[in-house]
Structure 1
Amino acid sequence: MLCQPVYFEVSDKPNSCRSLGPRYTVFDRLANVLIRHKIGNNIYTHLLYYCIAIKIYQIRLMVTVISASNREDNNTRKVAQSYQDLLTRKGVDSRLLSLDEVQVFERNAAFLDVEKEYLVPADKFIIVMPEYNGSYPGILKLMIDNSDINRSWKHKKVLLTGVSTGRAGNLRGMEHLTGSLMHMNMIVHPNRLPISRVDTLLDENDEIMDPGTIKAVDKQVEEFLAF
């Protein structure tokens, strides 16, 4: 297919394709201009141009995957790596920011480098986070608090995945973080995926081996790319 399934409405009225958010406005206008000046007002042509525009957007899209744990040999990093690998297979430019490898304790030169490379240029974020005492890790909160909210986070879209060795998959932590992110004027994707008993889902190569989890992650990422 020319483009992946996306959530929008089509009619024979001008500016008919919508609901993909403000970043798609320019593509919608481009489609209308092409139709008016080249082929005419044809709903199928409009849809064709819109799909092409979406693919162009996905090619230039940059997603930062955040592994929100600073503990040694943590499972969160392994799951986050699986997300980045999946994005790579889908042709999406991505970067992995693992909080066990960077300094985020104060807003110094090293932190500014992290912000410049991973946060500011990102169009979207995927945050994979473990459950610490019924919530999300303090190192993630510290990193967010030390960053420039307006340049790094505001009005950007974010996908949340919780991991735990217990049964809840950090549901409470994702709920807590959702409140903070919405306060920062971020747009949180509704499919927040809890991955429970994560230590039993990884193979000897630290890759997710459970078919159900693999399917759920792929569906979640597909939805997020079209979000």
Structure 2
Amino acid sequence: MNSIIIKMMIALLPTAPVVGEYMADYEPAKTENAKQEQNKNELTETIEDIQAKVTTDYPKLFNVDEFNVQVGDSFDPIEGVYAVDKRDGDVTDNITTSGDVDTSTIGDYYLKYKVTNNTGGWYEITRIVHVSENPTDKIKPTPKTFGRDSDKNKTRVTFTSIDDVEISVGSDFDPKKGVKIYDTDGHDITNDAIVQGDKVDTEKVGEYFIAYTVIDRFGKANAAARKVTVK
């Protein structure tokens, strides 16, 4: 039976945070009727519907199940993945990832996902990604497109110059060079940003994923990710 490592941190103010780790086994195979019902729910539920079901003091990550990529196909580790918190709602932008998947080489790879809410509670999971000759799994639907995205955008900060980038082996790379981050009121908060994710090794060919996290004037954590390819 396949297992995944899950960690979470619950911010229980004013008491000290509680940290836990346990092994979570995948659920038994569902019947066809159960699968159809689950797919129906996934297509019609909104972020608000899911938020109402979250009872933990740390955010929940979704669509981070074991995944298969056909060798040679492209793979975006964040595609289809989302996170919901019982207080903050959609916190997908707060997700950071670390780890590499070489889709040109058959094997098993491990990606770490972490999401944090505004009170400091966090949830972390290690996802297994298989690269094989089998067809690539379908990306599960996400409910965020059915939620109130337009309302949520009103409180987002603005990230600029964080497009995916390709650099040559041996080049210098400063993850903050050229990057500008503006608060919801237009104030420059670039210097407040924390860079997380992979450490870009410019001496080693590969793909690296980094994320920029910053707290806006409302106390809400905002994040944006980019891919850095060393060629």
* TM-score, with structure 1 as normaliser: 0.26
More helix by percentage: 1
* TM-score, with structure 2 as normaliser: 0.25
